[in-house]
Structure 1
């Protein structure tokens, strides 16, 4: 018998027992669709989580800080992050971009009679910001200038003039703390146009008091800075979340002036930086040419006696967590397939008793045991194929229903959260066919052992 003959005979038998075929196929469909949904769910959520992490934690970036100067070397300052080491880092393989940073404490500023506050100020080469995926909402084309400063979107929010600050403070002193806090929070969500305007930076020692409105006391000198760019608000971030990210990046020249002013104000950290002559840095950010090379680059950086931090461990932890979810769903699907296989065994075994005369005649006409077994195995494989195809349709309906529910619950338009990758479909179909084949082994062997003369005589 040829393969086409096996397929034709198997398909005819499935059509004759349409009710039994549909019942068995439904069990296989539910099991295979559970496996497909499990794999799709795990991959979709993992992709969504990875994309969300990449918005805040870039996987291809490495943060390098000074290491322990006593570890691995007897030389003083062996762990310092110097200009020489930065030059070595630039020459390492797989390094796409390097930016050095000196991080300063919070800094108040004034603009047009309004006052604001910067939580962090980073001294760096401003032209390297875009190399690290920073997108500008305003400016960014030319960041040249000794007094250039780049602000995050949140740094443009929450500016208050003296009258508003006094009004909120008076409201708080009168016992209306809740109302004062609510008024202050509402002002913190209001952005102020600052692009290409001149800020008045007011360096101060860390011990200086900062009021509710970001007003500083004890400034000893003021520095002018031109806002050369406003960083784009992070996608998906709320106004409240963005308002907390009050960060500024200043040019090395302006940073030197800030360090000098902070030293005069009594800032000990600024004094320590100034003592080194600006040759050491608090951290260096490195962008690798590919995420796959981050691990190798990390090992090379550790040999320079530096502290290295990457975000790869977040992704590894996420993979482990989603692996458990996948195993749970896949285990449920395999259990359903096991139950479906029992129904297939019963159905195929009953089919052998109902077709004893047919089997007997086939043996009398010359069919051997192998051909009888192949006939039943092909029939069970076709049953698994039918169930797998129906399971694929089920899985698409389930994913579609979940996406509709998520979009309605979120109450915002957007792309589908869950999706089924093309590679998942053959996996679900394979398990359905495999279940059908394994379930058909016993009925096939049982059918091949049927005695031809006894079967014909009884029927």
Structure 2
């Protein structure tokens, strides 16, 4: 018996019993449909959670918070440049950068004729420019600063936030005047955006360090800031992409030392300090950089890299823990609802087995004739297995089609309800799957059901497998029927 003959016989047998076959197929349809829809809701919930976490920050980034106090934590290694090189050597680490900021630095930035425009340099960081590129920071103009860039004495190449120009105030205007400062997003009477006072990429910027000696005399030192590029705003990465300044960490350290020298206070550089009970003065900088960002190549490798850093004694933060908790919540909901759907598929499997057993009893004489004519036992067994598998596959195909229809309805349910003048709130459905994020990042509703191709193949394969396994015992039963008894069977 050829394969084509086997398929034809199986198809004819199923076609002769249309009613019974249809009822059996319906059971498989319900089971397949339920499982695919439940899994699709979980996939969509995970995707929405990932989008929400991405809006909060980079999922592949680890933040090291080095808030130890010098000698008070001798067991924790110094988070200095040497340690950063060690971190860069870890497997799966793409880039490492400190976020160096001197909170004690008294500095202002001036522009315009006679320093007309003034801004406070409160959001100024020293970073590794090469790391910023690897961490996917984007520029809307210009280019990143290379480590060997040399513009001359007291000239510092910098990158500025997209809206940094709005930080400047017009010192010729009264402090109470509404025209003293312009704000990003502000519009004039005609609705046109209000531009900054000047083009910050063309204007000369002067960074002025200001300190006072013991007699109260003012001492200043000026540096020129040369704008090399402008960040595309991305507050999820760092706020300086909005209205701050980034420069090479060596340049920032140079400014800290210059201010320390200018003020005559050796403790004025590199962050805060405290006085111990014995009068010892400890600087936070004594234990290295306060904040360091580590970029990992893939979100699945973040946990391993983070654990290595924790083993060194540092405190870390990443989105991994939140992400894992969300995924666990979604998986738990999927298991509960998927288990309920699996019950429907189990009932379908029993129906298939019952259908095939009934078919054997009705075709006992046919089986006997096939044996007498010399048909191989395995061919008879395969015929029933093909029939059972065909029932599972047909039910799977219909279940997949209905799943796509249901998915489309769910994803457009708010619009469908609006057409009939009603409203519908699906946030409760999504929260039951552990997804508290229903609205898309653009303000529109996000998909609540997603059926990827692998889920379709899984549904078809599973339904077919259920059909074959359900028909296995009836098929074996058919092969054990005696040929003589089968021929005499009425």
Q: 8 Å contact 1:118–1:246 — kept in the other structure?
A: no
> Distance between the aligned counterparts of 1:418 and 1:164, measured in 2?
57
- Among 140, 148, 152, the residue aligned to 2:157: 148
* Superposition deviation, residue 68 in structure 1: 5.2
Q: 8 Å contact 1:359–1:452 — kept in the other structure?
A: yes
The answer for the alignment partner of 2:324 in structure 1 is: 316
**Structure 1 pair 290–342 and aligned structure 2 pair: CA distance change class (3 A):** closer
* Superposition deviation, residue 134 in structure 1: 0.7
Task: Give unmatched runs, 5+ long, in structure 1.
Answer: 170-182, 206-217
1:61 pairs with 2:58: no
* Superposition deviation, residue 16 in structure 1: 1.9
* Superposition deviation, residue 327 in structure 1: 2.1
- Among 97, 100, 108, the residue aligned to 1:99: 97
* Superposition deviation, residue 414 in structure 1: 11
1:423 pairs with 2:454: yes
* Superposition deviation, residue 336 in structure 1: 2.3
> Distance between the aligned counterparts of 1:24 and 1:420, measured in 2?
25
**Structure 1 pair 81–40 and aligned structure 2 pair: CA distance change class (3 A):** same
* Superposition deviation, residue 46 in structure 1: 3.2
Pairing 1:17-416 to 2, within 5 Å after superposition: 17-47=17-47, 49-50=49-50, 53-54=53-54, 56-66=56-66, 79-92=77-90, 94-105=92-103, 120-142=123-145, 144=149, 145=151, 146-153=155-162, 155-156=164-165, 166=176, 187=186, 192=196, 194-199=200-205, 225-234=225-234, 246-251=243-248, 252-254=250-252, 256-257=254-255, 261=259, 264=263, 270=269, 280-288=288-296, 294-295=302-303, 297-298=305-306, 300-302=308-310, 304-359=312-367, 361-362=369-370, 365=373, 372-404=380-412
SS in 2 for 1:227: strand
Between the two proteins, the alignment pairs up a number of residues equal to 429
Q: Deviation per CA, 1:279-330, whole angstroms, max 9, x where unpaired?
A: 8322333334555655554455456544444443344333323322432443
**Structure 1 pair 25–200 and aligned structure 2 pair: CA distance change class (3 A):** farther
The answer for the alignment partner of 2:468 in structure 1 is: 437
Q: 8 Å contact 2:101–2:271 — kept in the other structure?
A: no
Q: Deviation per CA, 1:170-224, whole angstroms, max 9, x where unpaired?
A: xxxxxxxxxxxxx98964997745334445667799xxxxxxxxxxxx9988865
Moved more, 160-169 or 129-138: 160-169
> Distance between the aligned counterparts of 1:104 and 1:458, measured in 2?
97
> Distance between the aligned counterparts of 1:55 and 1:267, measured in 2?
41
SS in 2 for 1:148: strand
SS in 1 for 2:200: coil
> Distance between the aligned counterparts of 2:285 and 2:69, measured in 1?
18
TM-score calculated relative to the size of structure 2: 0.66
SS in 1 for 2:137: coil
> Distance between the aligned counterparts of 2:380 and 2:135, measured in 1?
67
Q: 8 Å contact 2:64–2:317 — kept in the other structure?
A: yes
> Distance between the aligned counterparts of 1:287 and 1:139, measured in 2?
24
> Distance between the aligned counterparts of 1:76 and 1:364, measured in 2?
90
RMSD between aligned alpha carbons?
5.1
> Distance between the aligned counterparts of 1:439 and 1:50, measured in 2?
39
Moved more, 449-458 or 26-35: 449-458
> Distance between the aligned counterparts of 1:23 and 1:121, measured in 2?
71
TM-score calculated relative to the size of structure 1: 0.70
* Superposition deviation, residue 433 in structure 1: 1.4
Task: Give unmatched runs, 5+ long, in structure 2.
Answer: 188-192, 212-217, 274-281, 417-438
